[in-house]
Amino acid sequence: MYDFCHTRRSCCGGHTVIDQILYLTLQRFLGSLPILVIAIVVAKFISLYISADKIGLFLKTRKRNIAGASLLGLVTPGPLAPYLPLLKVLQSGGLPLSVVAAFITSQTLVGPLRAFLEVDMFGLAFFALRVFVSFIIAIGVGVCFQLLNKYIRPKNASSAREIKNK
């Protein structure tokens, strides 16, 4: 029924299908390389103006704002790892887990660095819809955490020490 050996056969002047796939992938990568470099430069430029301290100040002043945290997560450049310690400190200082969860979700799903590549490969309409859907998902996660807040106990250093001492 299915002939999986066809990928080893020559086609188009002696080249195999795998050769063509590798060639097209390399061609697409090299075509996207300038866009990737521009995206990295723009993300670095944004990160100079949007520091972790500014994010912390924003989240601290709007403690209960799930939509604000979701929106902030959408535009925060770079990986999530540098923001996790800041979020932990803010959460220890009273920031609700619902806001933390909304920020983490939106920051993970969307990032400015990926915007250039996605728009180039899939188009602006695709990217805009994906950002909108990701924003709604992040708000939904924040609302779920808010509704289930009484069942979720955040880990903190004092509770871990109490358990060790028992």
State whether residue 65 is helix, strand or coil: coil
| Mean pLDDT of all residues in 83-98 | 80
Domain membership of residue 29 (yes or no) is no
Predicted local confidence at residue 40, as pLDDT:
67
- Whether 5 is covered by a domain: the verdict is no
User: Residue 73 burial (CB < 10 Å; 0-12/13-18/19+)?
Assistant: buried
Q: CA–CA separation, 62 vs 54, rounded Å?
A: 12
The pLDDT, as a whole number, for residue 137 is 96
> Which pLDDT tens digit goes with each residue over 113-165?
778 778 888 899 999 999 999 999 999 999 999 899 888 876 665 444 444 44
Domain range spanning residue 75? 50-165
pLDDT band at 93 (very low <50, low <70, confident <90, very high): confident
Report yes or no on 96 lying in a domain: yes
Q: How far is the C-alpha of 63 from the C-alpha of 94, rounded, in Å?
A: 8
In a domain, 2, yes or no: no
CA distances from 46 to 60, 68, 113, 121 (A): 21, 18, 10, 23
The three-state secondary structure class of 81 is coil
User: Which pTM value belongs to this model?
Assistant: 0.61
Q: State the Cα–Cα distance between residues 36 and 42, nearest whole angstrom.
A: 10
Instruction: Note whether residue 94 is domain-resident.
Output: yes
Q: What's the average model confidence in pLDDT over 95-120? A: 85
SS3 15: strand
Res 161: pLDDT: 42
29: closest CA among 117, 123, 119, 113?
Answer: 117
Q: What pLDDT score does 26 carry?
A: 84
Q: What is the pLDDT of residue 101?
A: 92
The arithmetic mean of pLDDT across residues 79-102, rounded, is 81
Would residue 38 count as lying in a domain? Answer: no
Residue type at position 165: N
Asked whether residue 73 carries a pLDDT value surpassing 80, the answer given is yes
- Domain assignment of residue 27, yes or no: no
What pLDDT is stored for residue 36 in this prediction? Answer: 67
Give the pLDDT score at 18. 86
User: Residue 150 falls within a domain, yes or no?
Assistant: yes
Looking at the 3D structure of the chain, how many domains does it have? 1
Per-residue model confidence as pLDDT tens digits over 10-64 = 555 566 888 888 888 888 778 777 766 776 676 666 667 666 667 667 666 655 5
